[in-house]
Structure 1
Amino acid sequence: MPDTSPLAVCVGEGLVSLVPATAAPLEDNRTFHRSLAGAEWNAAIALASAGIRSAVVSRVGDDGFGRFLTGELRRLDVDATAVEIDPHAPTGLYVKELTAAVDGSIDATMHYYRAGSAAAGLSPDTLATPAAAALLAEAALVHTSGITPSLSASARAAQDALFAADGRDRMLSFDVNWRAVLWLGREEEGRRVLTEYAHRADVVFCTRHDAEAVFGTDDPDAVRALVPEPRFLLVTDPLGAVAFDGTERLQSDALDVPVVETIGAGDAFAAGFLAGVLTGLSLEGSLARAHRIATRALTSTRDHID
């Protein structure tokens, strides 16, 4: 029998991450471990790990890195049928540079090599392919982020199409994910674009840092006053989160676990919360699930949970 459980579709960029074997300057590292990265792809994998049917709509190059990424999705039970293969543009990647902190955790700096990548070619045509259209028609939830519209004009048009879909019978989830370097020289445009998406989403995630950068305040209640439309709004920091469901407000602390590295934890947190919502948990239950899944990303230098 076909699986009729809720489907979550994540739309956005997939990347290969090269993680050095040791915390040292790149020039001193000879060995790198290959991994999957990309905010929406990380979220799709975390959703699948939480028992939610998930799929990715994206583009990769017709190269070894692209085949690796789609293979990883399939290995981790994420539907990859709507990942287009670009015969000309390469798969994007980034290299992590790790530095050991005094508290035993690891700080990471990312060096991106994504200009002209296949994912930058995301467009409304990507969403209209038979595979993508079928998934989006079935989706109970579509999740995307503020990274996508910064990649190219066509990628922004694709995200505009997601938010403009008439009569959509699904939740639309948006992670602000402000990346200043991707909006360099057009920061005000970026703030305006991401704010518009936030007003039109059903679920919005943002860190306090991103809230300050985009909305001009890191106070959760002030953010809620500025963005009242989404049913769910979550403002996070390393110590915990403030979550809103309509007028209900809940504050919770992050779980106390040894932190190895924080990259990807926000994507896992978002996935955990969305998994809770899709399975009918309360605000408190969904928030608790978000924290539990985020801890799995905090204990690894990978961007996604396995």
Structure 2
Amino acid sequence: MDVVTFGETMVLFTPESTGMMRYAHTYTRKFGGSETNFAIGLARLGHSVGWISRVGDDELGKAMLSFVRGEGVDTSCVRLDPDAPTGIYFKEIRKANEVNVYYYRKGSAASRMTPADLDEAYLAQARYLFVSGITPALSETCREMVFAAIRMAKANGLKVVFDPNLRKKLWTEEQARETLLAIAAQSDIILPGAAEGEFLFGDNDLEQLGQRFLDLGAKIVVLKLGEKGAHYFTPEENLYVPGFPVEQVVDPVGAGDGFAAGFISGLLDGLSLAESVKRANAVGAIVTMVNGDVEGLPDRSDLQRFMEQPDEEVMR
């Protein structure tokens, strides 16, 4: 197993029409969640990845399990919860590049996860543990699960990869800042957005942000800069890696998860940090051009074609 991750994935309903959702009458059903977006991204690039979670013992939960399993992700540690529903969210596309997301996840099966949902022997098979900052915001037991998973990972020699994935709607800013910094302090690789770095440290200087994360103990920090690309930092070096231009962004949701998948894929393939960040930028760009959280995630041939195209072709 290359990577293990855990967290909530929900059923996604998207109106078939654009504009305000109040006028929508028909919807498409998909699935989305930071950790499974990431896991599916890695699986499509040929890596082995497992996902730990709970879903409702309902038709939507069973459909989700079938979908994630069908994408090549191991779901053997996902539990069906007979006492809580599968979470739901709606994605309102007002117009191109203007997307609103509405969550209906309170009391969901995944919010009831605890450290008991972890199997240390299962984790020990992997090389990396991927942690999202969304999971500890779901409930106190989910927060406990995050730190328990990190302890197990460290005890078994896994590298901890952390994407802060700040969701202010889920908790207070004080709770978010305290918890995300505590997780970052125990992570080997941190993948924050520049805005998340500013939220955590009150600073928008990229060099300073990179150093602040390194000072917490991380070995690698990659600051995501959206369409501009990313800037990585290690104790020995730092480098800006430009992004891939995209003329028309259709749906930006899930691009950060694709970025994380591309970056870890590069590390697993033995690429340099600069090449791994370049791959991450490419996957993130591809995701933005397709409606849906995972629908745009590329396989290796798609990724290679995209990265080899001249800029004027990439933008189309």
| Fold equivalence (TM over 0.5) | yes
Among residues 263, 282, 289, which one is paired with 1:299 in the alignment? 289
Matched, 1:110 2:101: yes
TM-aligned CA deviation for residue 245 of structure 1: 3.2
**Aligned residues of 2:222 and 2:232 also touching (Cα < 8 A):** yes
* 1:217 aligns with one of 189, 192, 203: 203
Q: 1:288 aligns with which of 260, 278, 295?
A: 278
Structure 2 residue matching 1:227: 3-state secondary structure: helix
Q: Which whole-Å CA distance do the structure 2 matches of 1:288 and 1:135 have between them?
A: 31
Greater RCO (CA < 8 Å, at least 6 residues apart): 1
SS of 2:191's partner is strand
Alpha-carbon distance in 2 for matches of 1:296, 1:72: 21
- Checking the alignment, whether the CA contact within 8 Å between 2:181 and 2:200 is kept in structure 1 is yes
Q: 2:186 matched to 1:191?
A: no
Residue 58 of structure 1 corresponds to 53
Superposed displacement of residue 189, structure 1: 2.3
Which SS does the other structure have where 2:183 is aligned? helix
For residues 89 and 62 of structure 2, the distance between their equivalents in structure 1, rounded to whole angstroms, comes to: 16
Contact 2:13 2:89 survives alignment (8 Å): yes
Q: How does 1:157-196 map to 2 (within 5 A)?
A: 157-165=144-152, 167-183=155-171, 186-196=172-182
2:145 is aligned with 1:154: no
In the TM superposition, residue 167 of structure 1 has moved relative to its aligned partner by: 2.2
One-letter amino acid of the counterpart of residue 22, structure 2: E
Per-residue CA shift, 1:117-154, capped at 9, x if unaligned?
001011100003xxxx3320101111011111100000
Partner Cα distance (2:244, 2:76) in 1 = 36
Match of 1:89 in 2: 84
What is the CA–CA distance in structure 2 between the aligned matches of 1:72 and 1:17, rounded to whole Å?
13
SS at structure 1 position matched to 2:192: strand
- Matched-pair contact (CA < 8 Å) for 1:144–1:175: yes
Superposed structure 1 runs of 4+ greater than 3 Å apart: none
Letter in 1 for 2:205: D
Gaps of 5+ in 2: 298-316
Shift, 1:219, TM fit? 2.4
Partner SS state of residue 31, structure 2: strand
Match of 1:249 in 2: 238
Q: Which one of the candidate residues 194, 203, 212 is aligned to 2:189?
A: 203
What is the distance in 2 between the residues matched to 1:135 and 1:295?
32
Corresponding residue number in structure 2 for 1:3: none
Matches within 5 A, 1:29-40: 29-40=24-35
Determine the C-alpha separation between the residues in 1 that align with 2:40 and 2:107.
25
Q: Work out the CA distance in 2 between the residues paired with 1:218 and 1:16.
A: 35
Matches of 2:207 and 2:78, distance apart in 1 = 38
Q: More strand by proportion, 1 or 2?
A: 1
Which segments of 5 or more consecutive residues in structure 1 lack a partner in the other structure?
Answer: 1-5
CA–CA distance in 2 between the matches of 1:108 and 1:28?
15
State whether residues 23 and 106 of structure 1, in contact with CA within 8 Å, keep that contact through their aligned partners in structure 2. no
In structure 1, the partner of 2:308 is none
Residue 50 of structure 2 aligns to a residue in which SS? strand
Give the counterpart of 1:272 among 262, 265, 275.
Answer: 262
Partner of residue 312, structure 2: none
User: TM-score, normalized by length of structure 2?
Assistant: 0.89
Residue 211 of structure 1 contacts residue 217 of structure 1 at CA under 8 Å; is this kept in 2?
A: yes
Question: Could you tell me how far apart the structure 1 residues matched to 2:168 and 2:135 are?
Answer: 13
In structure 1, what is the Cα distance between the partners aligned to 2:142 and 2:106? 13
* SS of residue in 2 equivalent to 1:200: coil
- 8 Å Cα contact 1:142/1:170 also seen in 2: yes
